[in-house]
Amino acid sequence: MEIYLDNSATTKCAEEVIDIVVKVMREDYGNPSSKHIKGVEAEKYIKEAAAIIAKSLKCQEKEILFTSGGTESNNMAIIETALANQRRGKHVIVSSVEHSSVKEPFNYLEEQGFRVTYLPVDRQGHVSLEALKEALCDETILVSVMYANNEIGTIEPIQEIGEIVKKFNPDIIYHVDAIQAYGKFKIIPKKLNIDLLSVSGHKIHGPKGTGFLYIKEKTKIKPLILGGGQQKAMRSGTENVPGIAGLGKAAELIYDNKFDEKINKMYELRNYFINGLKKISDVTINGCEDRESAPHVVSASFAGIKSEVLLHALEDKGIYVSSGSACSSNRPGLSSTLRAIGLPEELQDATIRFSFCFDTTKEELDITLQTLKELLPVLRKYKRH
């Protein structure tokens, strides 16, 4: 039996998504910029996907820009916004628990002469609102904070941050990385004062290599890719029509009339799994419990065992988990998020992330808990020798 508990890294494509991707590739393969009927048919998929996504965010279709995924969306939102607004100031603010696709663009801005303020977090990973208030100044042009943490699941005070930022200066651009949040929460950017919102397709049972950036109308931002002027010249290059069609279908499936029911089920499973982990000795739960966390992420540290050792021991039993952010596995080192929340160093390298989807079952979690109970004493004994 295969048990996949690494849905924060990627999700399995929904069957309906696969069907529409194949149909577009096989039948409606025209270039959406072509003037003939094949081009019109292809363009229709893009418009339909934009309409579906805009409905989910209660925004305008023209505010949706399709990208190759979360990393591109974050890079564009941060770098191109900062460059477009640098005449107003060169100070930017970001939390200290961001994904690498946010951290690295801010490192780049620092190299370009921007002053970057990194906001501290508490033990659960919540951004300090007082630190934000102290950091804001006349030179501030951009604030970026993720909605739900990809490693520990903590939900940031997104609405409060937006209110603080816009009260200080309405012209400051507010970016939110919603890659782990879209499809798990009902997000209305305008109510939250969000100017830019990043989303990735493969986190919501859509195709890899797809995503979008919500850009509030009249937000000053430069294009990242220049060329033929597609997508109103904001992202040139022939659109990935099969991927965009699949992304639209994935968004439609996620935000169906059973959305609340599915999310409640995931929270029930999460609480059930955490309670099971607490019954195992020397296990520390990281982040928040109940509804203060995303419904699909559980971070746990297993004292005395290297996370990579436990990951592969579980893999041998057909259980797939993560030792942290999948995107960080190419750059070894301890997690900056776990360090920021004050987790002891010996536990930082003993942390496993379990992440669920709507199809995760209680039976799968029971098997995982039982497997952990059997593996941990053996692995800890081996470690002592």
Catalytic residues, which ones?
327
Look up the pTM and report it.
Answer: 0.95
Predicted local confidence at residue 385, as pLDDT: 41
Check whether residue 244 and residue 265 sit in a common domain: no
Residue pair 322/314 in contact by the 8 Å Cβ criterion: no
Check whether residue 248 and residue 263 sit in a common domain: no
What CATH code is carried by the domain that includes residue 305?
3.90.1150.10
Check whether residue 249 and residue 379 sit in a common domain: no
Predicted local confidence at residue 332, as pLDDT: 54
Check whether residue 119 and residue 268 sit in a common domain: no
Q: Which domain holds residue 349?
A: 3-11+259-384
- 148-176 mean pLDDT: 97
Among 263, 280, 284, CA closest to 350: 284
Q: What tokens does 176 get?
A: 């939110």
Higher pLDDT, 345 or 205: 205
Domain boundary among 237, 254, 271: 254
Check whether residue 282 and residue 357 sit in a common domain: yes
pLDDT confidence tier of residue 188, bands split at 50, 70 and 90: very high
- Position 32 pLDDT exceeds 90: yes
Domain boundary among 190, 220, 254: 254
- Position 115 pLDDT exceeds 80: yes
Predicted local confidence at residue 330, as pLDDT: 47
Check whether residue 205 and residue 112 sit in a common domain: yes
- 197-217 mean pLDDT: 98
- 244-263 mean pLDDT: 97
What CATH code is carried by the domain that includes residue 224?
3.40.640.10
Identity of the highest mean pLDDT range in 156-165, 285-294, 325-334 = 156-165
Check whether residue 224 and residue 333 sit in a common domain: no
- 105-109 mean pLDDT: 97
pLDDT confidence tier of residue 224, bands split at 50, 70 and 90: confident
- 317-322 mean pLDDT: 97
Check whether residue 228 and residue 307 sit in a common domain: no
Predicted local confidence at residue 1, as pLDDT: 85
User: What is the rounded average pLDDT for all residues in the chain?
Assistant: 95
Check whether residue 52 and residue 178 sit in a common domain: yes
- Position 383 pLDDT exceeds 80: no
Q: What tokens does 115 get?
A: 């002053």
Check whether residue 324 and residue 205 sit in a common domain: no
Task: For residue range 255-303, list pLDDT tens digits in order.
Answer: 999 999 999 999 999 999 999 999 999 999 999 988 889 999 999 999 9
pLDDT confidence tier of residue 324, bands split at 50, 70 and 90: low
Check whether residue 248 and residue 286 sit in a common domain: no
Check whether residue 148 and residue 46 sit in a common domain: yes
Among 380, 364, 384, 381, CA closest to 302: 380
CA distance 39 to 112: 41
Predicted local confidence at residue 333, as pLDDT: 62
- Position 217 pLDDT exceeds 90: yes
Domain boundary among 235, 254, 273: 254
- Position 382 pLDDT exceeds 90: no
Predicted local confidence at residue 290, as pLDDT: 81
- 69-92 mean pLDDT: 98
Structural domain count, the chain: 2
